[in-house]
C-alpha cells in the first residue's frame, strides 16, 4: 500500500519509518502541505497521511477520490480541517488518532502556567546575561487558587487532577458533564460561573462551530479581572483580537497559548531570518504577560511513538475492513 505523507517534519519521518518496520507500507514523503496545488502528488497512492494544517475541503477531497485515494489517515486528534460530508460522498474513509498522549498535552498546560506565573522564561534570560535581580519576577502560589477546566475529556481530566494535586479548587465545564469525575474539590458548574470564579482558565475542548471563538469580548468580560487563560487545544477557541483588547485593559492578566487561530504557515517553521508579517502574533509577542509555544504540547517521545503506531494500525485496519472507533463520520 502506498501512502502520500504530507507536511512531514524530520521527527515524523524518523518515527514513522521506525514503526513501519512492522507494517511494510510504502511512504512518499512531501514537506509541503496538502492543498489545491499539491493534491496531485497523491496520484498512484492509496491513502494520504495528513496533519492539522493540511487542507481537506470538498474540492480537494473530490480530487483525492479521482486520484484513487480511499483513506485519509489523520496523524492527529482534531478533524475540523476535513469536510466529512464530502469524504462520505466520495467514499473516502477518515481515521484519526484520538488520544496519543493526553498526559503530554496536560503536562504542557501545567508547564505554561508555572512558566508564565513564576516568569521562568524571563528569569532564564536574565541570568544568562549576568542579571541576578529578582525585580518584577513576583509570582503567586497555585495552592488555594481556583482553576477552571473547560472540556473534561481525557486531557482535561488529567490536567484537572494535576492541578488538584497543587491544592487548587477545580471548577469544570463540559456540554456533556460526566458526574463520576466530581469529587472533593472538583465540581461541574456552568461556563459563566467558571469564568467568574476562576483564577486560571484552561481550554481543553475541541474546535466545533459552537466552540469557535468561545473566548470573545463578552466571555473575557465575565472573567475575574487579572485571571490567566491557557489554551493547548485549538487556536480558534479564542478570538485573538478580543484577547489583545482584554490584555491591554488588564481584564486578562496572563495569556499562554500553544495554538493560534492563524498558525497555518507560521507554526512548525523557522522564521528567525524573515519578517513576520502577521501583525496579530507580533502584537501578542510584545506583551510581557503572554507566553507562546508553537503547537509543542504533544511533542514527547511517548506521543510520537503512539501517533505513528496508531496511524499505521488505522491504515492496516482500513485495509482489512475493520470497523474502528478511530473512524470519523458525520
| Active-site pick, 108, 261, 263, 318 | 263
Tell me if residue 31 is catalytic: no
Helix (H) or strand (E) holding 127: helix 120-128
Per DSSP, 237 falls in state G
Q: Tally DSSP H helices, then E strands, for the chain.
A: 11, 12
Tell me if residue 136 is catalytic: no
| Active-site pick, 75, 95, 96, 234 | 234
Say if residues 206 and 151 touch (Cβ distance below 8 Å): yes
CA 303/CA 101 separation, integer angstroms: 5
Tell me if residue 263 is catalytic: yes
Q: Establish how many alpha carbons lie within 13 A of residue 48's alpha carbon, considering only the half-sphere containing its beta carbon.
A: 31
Say if residues 178 and 152 touch (Cβ distance below 8 Å): yes
CA 146/CA 128 separation, integer angstroms: 34
CA 304/CA 298 separation, integer angstroms: 8
Say if residues 45 and 67 touch (Cβ distance below 8 Å): yes
| Active-site pick, 295, 302, 317, 320 | 295
Task: List residues with catalytic annotation.
Answer: 234, 263, 295
Amino acid at each position: 500500500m502506498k501512502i502520500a505523507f504530507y507536511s512531514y517534519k524530520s521527527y515524523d519521518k524518523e518515527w514513522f519509518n521506525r514503526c513501519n518496520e512492522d507494517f511494510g507500507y510504502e511512504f512518499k514523503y512531501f514537506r509541503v502541505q496538502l492543498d489545491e496545488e499539491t493534491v496531485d502528488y497523491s496520484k498512484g497512492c492509496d491513502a494520504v497521511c495528513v496533519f492539522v494544517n493540511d487542507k481537506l475541503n470538498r474540492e480537494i477531497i473530490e480530487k483525492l477520490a479521482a486520484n484513487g485515494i480511499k483513506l485519509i489517515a489523520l496523524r492527529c486528534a482534531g478533524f475540523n480541517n476535513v469536510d466529512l460530508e464530502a469524504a462520505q460522498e466520495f467514499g473516502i474513509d477518515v481515521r484519526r488518532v484520538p488520544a496519543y498522549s493526553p498526559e503530554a498535552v496536560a503536562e504542557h498546560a501545567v508547564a505554561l502556567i508555572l512558566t508564565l506565573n513564576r516568569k521562568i522564561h524571563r528569569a532564564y534570560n536574565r541570568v544568562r546575561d549576568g542579571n541576578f535581580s529578582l525585580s518584577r519576577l513576583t509570582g503567586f502560589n497555585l495552592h488555594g487558587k481556583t482553576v477552571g477546566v473547560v472540556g473534561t475529556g481525557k486531557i482535561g481530566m488529567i490536567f484537572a487532577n494535576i492541578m488538584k494535586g497543587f491544592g487548587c479548587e477545580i471548577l469544570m465545564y463540559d456540554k456533556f458533564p460526566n458526574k463520576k469525575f466530581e469529587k472533593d474539590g472538583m465540581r461541574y458548574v456552568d461556563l459563566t460561573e467558571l469564568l467568574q470564579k476562576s483564577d486560571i482558565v484552561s481550554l481543553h475542548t475541541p474546535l466545533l462551530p459552537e466552540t469557535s471563538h468561545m473566548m470573545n469580548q463578552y466571555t473575557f468580560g465575565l472573567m475575574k479581572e487579572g485571571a490567566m487563560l491557557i489554551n493547548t487545544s485549538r487556536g480558534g477557541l479564542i478570538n485573538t483580537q478580543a484577547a489583545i483588547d482584554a490584555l491591554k485593559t488588564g481584564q486578562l492578566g496572563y495569556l499562554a497559548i500553544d495554538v493560534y487561530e492563524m498558525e497555518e504557515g507560521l507554526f512548525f517553521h523557522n522564521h528567525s531570518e524573515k519578517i513576520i508579517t502577521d501583525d496579530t502574533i507580533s502584537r501578542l509577542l510584545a506583551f510581557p504577560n503572554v507566553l507562546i509555544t508553537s503547537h509543542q504540547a504533544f511533542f514527547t517521545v511517548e506521543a510520537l511513538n503512539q501517533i505513528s503506531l496508531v496511524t499505521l494500525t488505522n491504515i492496516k485496519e482500513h485495509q482489512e475492513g475493520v470497523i474502528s472507533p478511530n473512524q470519523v463520520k458525520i
